[in-house]
Structure 1
């Protein structure tokens, strides 16, 4: 009998792809559980904070129903439906008959900017502790939940931080300490935290196209004394932490080693795949994405886009002067757009513009519309050459 071959898997083998996970907590990147007070106090405090922040940020609140009686299933759920959607006059309502694990929760809260939760029932990766005599014993029981306390609040009936809190939080004296009623300073704390966690911007020059209409690589065209892909990368550097040249895997060896490159891992999807590949590499960063075929692009146009960036939106884009649609390839895509892009892809769409048209985006008008001109054909190339020659002659 032939001896059966045995395949030995080395210790280095991993059956899962090495992915960089976003810095999520239970619900979101920015989430705080408020713990240490009665639920009604937490609810009212959250209402005041959200009211102070809502002009600038999309806020969410998490709590648990406090009805003592048995809660009956609402509407059609009582008859066996698993989902009920109601389009109300001034809001929309979704009722589920299903458990929400952390994966579903993160997906549900992906479009907001911050989450505040009632910490008596829900845990978050950061906490705000309310010091209240009425809940001293309850808070002491929850001491293990205080893993990342960022602010302390004194209730009206309390004047000192409890000793067990001081022991559990060695740096408590360095934390902000306010009265529960000091909404101005409490809201200022959250605003400061949102500024501190504002996603950095990385740059992505789209240079992985096959340039079929042009007949040769558009990224290699020399408009300004160097290949266009490098010129655009240099143009992005003042506005970005890091800049990458997006390319196909077979192009990677062609890219100058002085420039960082990022090969597509979502293949055959054009710019859509390049954007997804960038988020796969750095999911907590915003990406200033720009096509390499914009020979009239200038620093002032990029500066205006970045200055008008709205991190609360899915993206900040220029409105096309031709058809009034968003220009997806000169856009700041925020981290919250990553799951959205994947969602559109799952529904069979790979058009970045379609995502922008159907999402919450911030649109700005270019001060110099000519800078948005792209080049796809030899005829367009000749026209741009004439424009550039005229500019040089006028200088």
Structure 2
């Protein structure tokens, strides 16, 4: 199956104080963790951005069609631009995701609109697989001012993948880095 890879890096990074995707973490910029993870699985990589600084990665950059709508805006614009029907989507601030996780998502792909990890603490919509058939529904929600992806999931069929066992093995798996102090404590 052909896959696009989408890295969501268009956030305001207000808690970090600077663009999270471009922050150095253990010798690499955070966005590079997502690039390196997605590269073996995807024949196209896109970065969802709303600010400069990502030009040197040599990837397709996608600005939000509807700015200031958060992750739903970045997901909408990127799925619309992706050349493949299915995309692996990762937030730029999740450096602990693994190939095992990506392979689990791919193996659970069904004829739905998304494959989304779930565990006892909730769902992980910023580390998931989405079909481009979500685009019209995302646009409808944006135009209504409804910014919660969970609302979209109630309207279209998605598959939830229980990742509890993987999370027990890799407790940091979905850890995201939001504050400067997170860069030191991990």
CA distance in 1: counterparts of 2:185 and 2:37, whole angstroms: 22
- From the superposition, tell whether residues 284 and 235 of structure 1 become closer, same or farther in structure 2 (CA, over 3 Å): closer
The higher relative CO (CA closer than 8 Å, separation ≥ 6) is in 2
1:52-85 deviation per Cα after TM superposition (whole angstroms, max 9, x unaligned): xxxxxxxxxxxxxxxxxxxxxxxxxxxxxxxxxx
Q: Is the 8 A contact 1:224 1:231 kept in 2?
A: no
2:113 aligns with 314
TM norm structure 1: 0.43
**What SS class does the counterpart of residue 333 from structure 1 fall into?**
strand
Q: Deviations over 1:215-251 (max 9, x none)?
A: 1221122224321112211210111120112111x41
Write the mapping of 1:244-393 to structure 2, written as runs, cut at 5 A: 244-248=46-50, 250-251=51-52, 254-282=54-82, 285-310=85-110, 312-322=111-121, 324=122, 326-366=123-163, 367-368=166-167, 369-384=171-186
Q: Which is higher, the Rg of structure 1 or of structure 2?
A: 1
Distance, in Å, in 1 between the alignment partners of 2:181 and 2:7 is 23
Distance of 1:237 and 1:375 partners within structure 2: 22
1: CA distance between counterparts of 2:54 and 2:96?
24
2:47 and 2:32 map into 1 onto residues whose CA distance is 8
- Where in structure 1 are there 5+ consecutive unaligned residues? 1-197, 385-395
TM-score by length of 2: 0.85
In 2, Cα distance between equivalents of 1:358 and 1:375: 31
1:233 counterpart = 2:35: yes
Whether the 8 Å contact between 2:3 and 2:84 is mirrored in structure 1 is no
Contact 2:69 2:142 in 1 (8 A): no
Q: Distance in 2 between matches of 1:303 and 1:352?
A: 23
Matched-pair contact (CA < 8 Å) for 2:9–2:91: yes
1:109-258 to 2 correspondences below 5 Å: 200-248=2-50, 250-251=51-52, 254-258=54-58
C-alpha distance in 1, partners of 2:87/2:66?
16
Runs of 4+ in structure 1 over 3 Å off: 378-382
RMSD between aligned alpha carbons?
Answer: 2.1
